Amino acid sequence: MASDNSEDLFSVAMLIDELKNENVQLRLNSIRRLTTIASALGAERTRSELVPFLTDSNDDEDECLLAIAEEMGNLISKVGGPEHVHCLLAPLENLSTVEETVVREKAVESACKVGAAMTSEGITAHFVPAVQRLASGDWFTARISACGMVAVAYEGCPASEAETRSQLRMTYSKLCADETPMVRRAAAQHLGKFAAVCEPENVKGEIMQLFQQLVQDEQDSVRLLAVEDCAALGKLLPREECVAEIVPTVKKFAADKSWRVRYMVAQQLYSLCESVGADLARTELLQSYEQLLMDNEAEVRIASAGNVAAFVQLVGAAAAGAKIVPRVKDLATDQSQHVRAALASCIMGLAPTMGKDQTIDQLLPVFLTLLKDEFPDVRLNIISKLDQVNQVIGVDLLSQELLPAIKDLAEDIHWRVRLAIIEYIPLLASQMGTAFLFQKGEGDKGGELNALCLQWLGDRVHSIREAAAVNLQKLTEVFGAEWACANILPRVMELMSNNHYLYRTTVVRAMTLLASAVGQEVAMRDIMPALKEATKDKVPNVRFAVAKALGEVAAALDPSVVEGEIKPALLELQQDQDVDVRFYAGQSLQLCDAKLSA
C-alpha cells in the first residue's frame, strides 16, 4: 500500500485518533489494525511516527496493553528489515514493566521475536542493553521480564563478544539471587532455556552453581520450578556429571517437605529417567518413584500414577514386578477416586511390558478391581484401553466382569458417561465378536447388551440418541449387512411405532445411516418401505426428518433407483402443508438432481 495515497493516510489518521479514544473497544479495534496502519505508512514513517506514538502511549487498560504487546511482534516485517527492527524494543521494554502478568509475558514473547530477527550487531548494540536495563530495574516486574529475555540476548550475541556474554551470565546470576521471590521464580523457570544456549564449560560451571543455589531456596515456589530444570540440565550434562549432580537433587526433591515440589517431581521424573537411561533409572530413581506412588498427598499420587505405564516400560518387567506393581495394587483401592481414575487411564499399558504370564498373575486382579469401581470414570478408563490387554492375554479373561461394567456405564445417571461408552461399543465388539456381545448366551448377558444398543435410541438426551444411531452404523460396518438384518433392522423398525415423535425421528436417522452400511439391496427391501411410510407421519418434524433422510439415502443408491423411488417420494413431500417439510424436500431434490446429472 503506497504511503502517499491520501485516502490511506486519511484512514490512518482516523485509526490513530481511535487509539486516543476513551472507548476501550474502539481502541482495541484500532490496535488490531496496527499492521494495516504500518503498511499504509511505510517502513520509515512507521519507525518515525507510529512506534514513537505507541512508546509514549499512556493507555491504562490491561486489555489494550495486551493487544499492543501482541501486535508489536507482528510489526517486525513492517519497520524495514533486521537493521531497523530494534526500534520496536522501546515500547516492548515499557510493556515489560507493567504489573499485569499476562501483559508482561506477551511483551517478553514479542521482544524475543524481535531479538531473533535482529542482526548480531543489533543484539549487541540494542537488545543486550535493553535486557540489562530491565535486569537492574527498581521494580521487580522489570527484573522478572529480564529473566525471559537473557537467553535470546546470549544466543544472538556473537561468540567473539566474550565480555558481553560474561556480563549476561553475571546478570543472570544476580537475578537468581534476587531478594524478591518472584524474580527468583522467573530465573528458575528460564534456567534450562538459558543453559541450552550457554557453552558446555559454563553449563558445568556457573550454571550448575546457580542450579544448586535455586534448589536450596527457602521458597517452595522457587524449588518446584527448579525441578523442571533437572530434566533440561540432565540432557546437557555428560552422563557422569548428571549422575553426580542432578540425580541426588531429584532424590532429595522426591522427599521434599512441600507437596507441590513432590508433585512437580512426579511430573518430571520420567523425562529425567529418559535422560539418564534405563540402568540408572532402575538403580537410582526407582525407589524415589515408588515413594511418590505412596505419597500422602493425592495430587502427587495422581501425577505419579499417570506415568506408571511409561515408567514400567523404561525399567523393565523384572524391576516393575518387584517395586511398582505392589504399589499399583494399593492404588487400585486408593481412597481418592481421582487417583484410581488416573491409574485406570494407563494401567492397561503395563500389559505389553509385563507379558502374558505376569499380566494374568499380577495385573488381572487389579483390572477386575477397577472394573467394579463405584466411580464411573474409573470403569470407563479401563474399558477405553482394553485393546492393550487384548493384544497380550485376549479379552476372554476379562469378559465375565466386562459386560456388567458396560451395562452399569450404559445406564449411568450422567449422560456424558453414557455417551462415552456408546463410542467404545464398536471397538469392543470388533475385539470380542458378535457371539459374545450380541447373541444370547448364559444369563442372557449378550442379548442384554444388544438390547442396550437399541435402548439408547430412546434415551432422553438427544446427543445419546444421535450417538446410538451412529453406533448401529459402525457395528454394521464391522459385522456386515447379514448380521444387521438379523439383529438390528427388525428391532429398529419396531421402534417406528413409538408414541413420542422425537424417538421416531431418531429411528429415521438410524435407518438413514444404516442404508449406507447395508448396501442397496437391503436398503430397498427393508429401509425404503419404512421411510416411505414415515412420510405420512402426523407430526411435521418426522416428515421433514424423512425429507432430509431421503436426500442422504440417495447418495448410496443407483441413479435409476433415485429416479424411480426417491424423487417421487420427495415430490410428494414438496406438496406438504408444512413449510419446513417442503423446504427440506426441495433441498433433497437438489441433491438427487446433482447425483443424476453427475
Predicted confidence (pLDDT) per residue in 482-530, tens digit:
888 888 888 888 888 878 888 888 889 999 898 888 888 888 888 888 8
The beta strands (E) that lie in 342-456 are given as none
Identity of the residue numbered 533: E
Percent of the chain whose pLDDT exceeds 70: 91
C-alpha–C-alpha distance, residues 479 and 475, integer Å: 6
Q: List Cβ neighbours of 180 (8 Å cut-off, separation of 6 or more).
A: 140, 143
Cα-flanking dihedrals φ and ψ of residue 291, to 5°?
A: -65, -40
Query: Sorting pLDDT into bands at 50, 70 and 90, what band is 21?
Result: low
Q: List Cβ neighbours of 326 (8 Å cut-off, separation of 6 or more).
A: none
Average pLDDT, integer, range 81-110: 87
Query: Sorting pLDDT into bands at 50, 70 and 90, what band is 144?
Result: very high
C-alpha–C-alpha distance, residues 414 and 34, integer Å: 48
List of long-range contacts for 251-259, beta carbons under 8 Å, 24+ apart = 251/284, 251/285, 251/288, 252/215, 253/215, 253/223, 253/227, 254/288, 254/289, 254/291, 254/292, 255/288, 255/291, 256/220, 256/223, 257/220, 258/220, 258/223, 258/224, 259/295, 259/296, 259/297, 259/299, 259/300
Please determine, for residue 300, whether its predicted confidence score (pLDDT) is greater than 90. Answer: yes
Pick left, alpha or beta for residue 80 (phi over 0 → left; psi -120 to 50 → alpha; otherwise beta).
Answer: left
Q: Which three cell numbers stand for residue 96?
A: 515489560
Query: Sorting pLDDT into bands at 50, 70 and 90, what band is 302?
Result: very high
Q: End-to-end distance of the chain based on CA atoms, in angstroms? A: 45
Predicted confidence (pLDDT) per residue in 211-243, tens digit:
888 888 888 888 888 888 887 888 888 877 887
**What letter does residue 179 receive in the DSSP assignment?**
S
**pTM score of the predicted model:** 0.68
Predicted confidence (pLDDT) per residue in 528-570, tens digit:
888 888 888 899 998 989 999 888 888 888 888 888 888 888 8
Q: Measured on CA atoms in the order 20, 26, 27, 32, is the torsion positive or negative? A: negative
**What letter does residue 459 receive in the DSSP assignment?**
-
Sketch out the chain's domains with CATH numbers.
Answer: 218-385 (1.25.10.10), 394-479 (1.25.10.10), 492-597 (1.25.10.10)
The percent of the chain in helix, strand and coil, each rounded to the nearest 5, is 80, 0, 20
Higher per-residue pLDDT: 582 or 4: 582
Q: Which of 127, 49, 110, 122 is nearest to 82 (CA)?
A: 122
